[in-house]
Amino acid sequence: MSAAAPAAFAALFQPCTLRSVTIPNRVWMAPMCQYSAAPDGPDAGVAQDWHFTHYAARATGGTGLIIQEATAVSPEGRISPYDLGIWNDAQVRALRRITGFVKSQGAVPGIQIAHAGRKASTERPWKGGRPVGPEAHGWTPAAPSAVPFREGDPVPHALTVEEIREITGQFADAARRALEAGYEVLEVHGAHGYLIGEFLSPQSNRRTDAYGGSFENRTRLALEVVDAVRAVWPEELPLFFRISATDWLDGEGWTADETVRLAGLLREHGVDLLDVSTGGLAPHADIPVGPGYQVPFAARVKAETALPAAAVGLITEPEQAEKILANGEADAILLGRELLRDPYWARRAAAELGGELRMPVQYHRSW
């Protein structure tokens, strides 16, 4: 990673180069599902006008890297029937419209590819988010073990080794399609209690074969997916991995120590940056939510490994974000809900901190 820029620039507005891709600043958009695609038929998982408008607004707003929401590698990998997908060519064609516009605004288009595991087949959040069956476009979810996410949820199908290999291949196919669609940054979703995170945690992974038990076995799928993706994702383009650094289960689940250990392995396997979040595996976890509450986990990865890390989670103010970077706690800031509230957050931050951003020529008279 390089960060050459005039000293007068705020850290938040220094460019960031990963492999051959230079991201113009450190204000990055975290993946956030919109649950706004068609649930079935020829348009299932296909990006709509809502998705274009949503991402276009953040690109014109000055966000340096826009990581598209968790995009399913298969129909069964969707969190809800209304999620975006990247398992067919129709989906790729629709996504090219988004990546083309994002690039035209000087931003970098990224995409998170994902499989929801046992947390799949749920209703949209504003409809309650509970599991749905075939009568509501749903299906039986799959997981490392037949352990439901919460009491009363459907028991997921425990994946066979053959099925695990098939899913690994689906991640590789999704990476190929992401390249065809014009993305320049690819992120593998291993966080928030979805499939790869379910394999990592002993709370959800009760297997007794090569994919369960020891740290080496529980991390096997994560590394196999990364290897499969890196084999088809161009050498010159960066690969991210999103992780929940802790399950917040007092050492009984996935831990921060294991995250640091895995970070080193991910770097050896070709990952360029760790997107550090937490939680999502257990509904009863006691999470001490507060401003910047996940930053220490990114800071630890950055301090104890050679892998760059990005911080996310209740980072809302420009001075707060700038301090995190200036203190060396993270290499970039990922904004989630704050960018939902304010697509032009980066422009406000630049005005407050003295940064410089590209302005669409149509808006020059406002500056």
Give burial (CB, 10 Å; 0-12/13-18/19+) of 338.
middle
Q: Shortest CA distance to 200 belongs to which of 273, 279, 103?
A: 279
Residue 3, pLDDT score: 38
Its pTM stands at: 0.96
User: 241: domain CATH number?
Assistant: 3.20.20.70
Q: Helix H segments across 26-104?
A: 49-60, 89-104
Residue 237 is which amino acid?
A: L
How many domains are there within the chain? 1
Question: Is 83 inside a domain boundary?
Answer: yes
Question: Is 3 inside a domain boundary?
Answer: no
Mode of pairing for the β-strands spanning 16-18 and 21-23: antiparallel
Question: Is 5 inside a domain boundary?
Answer: no
- What is d(CA 152, CA 130) in angstroms, rounded to the nearest whole number? 10
Instruction: Tell which wins on pLDDT, 303 or 1.
Output: 303
Reported confidence tier of residue 9, pLDDT bands at 50, 70, 90: low
Which domain covers residue 225, as residue numbers? 11-361
8-34 b/e (C-beta count within 10 Å ≥ 16 → b): ebbbbbbebebeebebbbbbbbbbbbb
Inform me whether the pLDDT recorded for 7 exceeds 80. Answer: no
- What is d(CA 143, CA 313) in angstroms, rounded to the nearest whole number? 27
Q: Helix H segments across 182-293?
A: 195-200, 215-218, 220-232, 256-268
Question: Is 340 inside a domain boundary?
Answer: yes
Q: How far apart are the first and last CA of the chain?
A: 32
The 10s digit of each residue's pLDDT in 25-44 is 999 999 999 999 999 999 99
Question: Is 320 inside a domain boundary?
Answer: yes
Residue 1, pLDDT score: 46
Question: Is 366 inside a domain boundary?
Answer: no
Question: Is 6 inside a domain boundary?
Answer: no
The residues carrying an active-site annotation are: 194
Inform me whether the pLDDT recorded for 6 exceeds 60. Answer: no
Question: Is 146 inside a domain boundary?
Answer: yes
CB atoms within 10 A of CB 126: 7
* Mean pLDDT, range 336-365, rounded to an integer: 92
